[in-house]
Amino acid sequence: MQKRQKAMPKNRKKMKPSLQDRGISRKDLLQKARNVKNDEFYTRYEDIEKEIARYDKTIWHRKTVFCNCDDGADENRSSAFARYFLGNFKTLGLKKLICTHYSRGRDLFMPGEKPYIFTKEDSPDQPEKKIFPQNYTGSFEDPLSLKILREEADIVCTNPPFSKAKEFWKILLESGKQFLIISNILNVKNDAYIPYFTAGKVRAGYNEADWYETPEKGLTRAAGYWFTNFPVKNRPKYKNLKILPLEAIPEKYKRFDDAGILLTDRNYIPGDYEKPFAVSVYPIVSGLLEKGFRILQEKQYRPYIQGREVFARLLIQKV
């Protein structure tokens, strides 16, 4: 689900309090994303703009973009995804934009409005239009939404509800369409999603998406990240990876679990280590799989230290 952009001062990035200032650890933030019950938070326009700017514009040329997770489009009361693609329709050279609106009791964009499908085409004879199909729910799982996905869409770009992410990813990956979506960063080490990464069907995009707008127009945090099947080139976060000989990694950032598996932290990677070792999600989203390493098994690894289970990781090995 997506949100309307909230006007922010240009220097907001500098003013935004750090996690330490707010008394929140990264672990707290990840736990919040894991336990989130209310999916009614919406993507910021600036996060969409920042991510899409990283890709070559030619990927959008003459393509039909489908925003299928409550991406309402209605003048100035649109979701950020709808507003971005409407505002950049000519710049990106789009062929068609299709946005769906999901109606529910509480709505950020058009309170009380029925589900609809909005379309805009690159044709003077086909102006923007909105239709209200009978019995249409607006859900990405609705038969009509699935038909659009199969028969019209070239690229899916949206923020599916975290609580329905498994269903959404399954439908999306089975469609074979190209995509750029936001989802929980913890999906990287979730058994339901790991096979997509091991098969090379999904990779991390360029940026995190941690800030969202609520129906009350406030801001909330959740550990979101961009995921895609487009090529990712010159990833800036490569610099976060600390690929060193095992002996050069500080002792406090490496240890062995009860099974003898090496665990490393803080993006330290033993470049000369041939055996399997376990890492968190952060080296993966920083591009480790593009640096000569692979995920070894299609399920998360649960290490034990002195008989006590510590946080789950991914089992990695040098190719």
Long-range contacts of 54-61 (CB under 8 A, 24+ apart): 54/205, 54/206, 54/207, 54/232, 55/180, 55/230, 57/91, 57/92, 57/93, 59/155, 59/178, 59/230, 60/92, 60/93, 60/94, 60/155, 61/92, 61/93, 61/94
Q: What is the pLDDT of residue 102?
A: 83
99 in any annotated domain: yes
Please count the other Cβ atoms lying within 10 Å of the Cβ belonging to residue 236. Answer: 11
Q: What is the pLDDT of residue 9?
A: 40
* Domain extent at residue 216: 12-233
79 in any annotated domain: yes
My answer on whether 139 and 28 are in the same domain is: yes
Please list the ranges in the chain whose pLDDT falls under 50: 1-19, 21-23, 32-37, 105-111
Q: What is the pLDDT of residue 71?
A: 66
3 in any annotated domain: no
My answer on whether 225 and 245 are in the same domain is: no
Domain end call among 172, 205, 233: 233
Give me the CATH number covering residue 63: 3.40.50
The number of folded domains in the chain is 2
Q: What is the pLDDT of residue 10?
A: 43
pTM of the model: 0.84
119 in any annotated domain: yes
20 in any annotated domain: yes
My answer on whether 171 and 201 are in the same domain is: yes
Q: What is the pLDDT of residue 11?
A: 42
My answer on whether 221 and 264 are in the same domain is: no
My answer on whether 75 and 209 are in the same domain is: yes
4 in any annotated domain: no
Question: What is the per-residue pLDDT across 37-47, written as a single tens digit (0 to 9) for each?
Answer: 456 678 999 99
Domain end call among 233, 268, 287: 233
My answer on whether 75 and 183 are in the same domain is: yes
89 in any annotated domain: yes
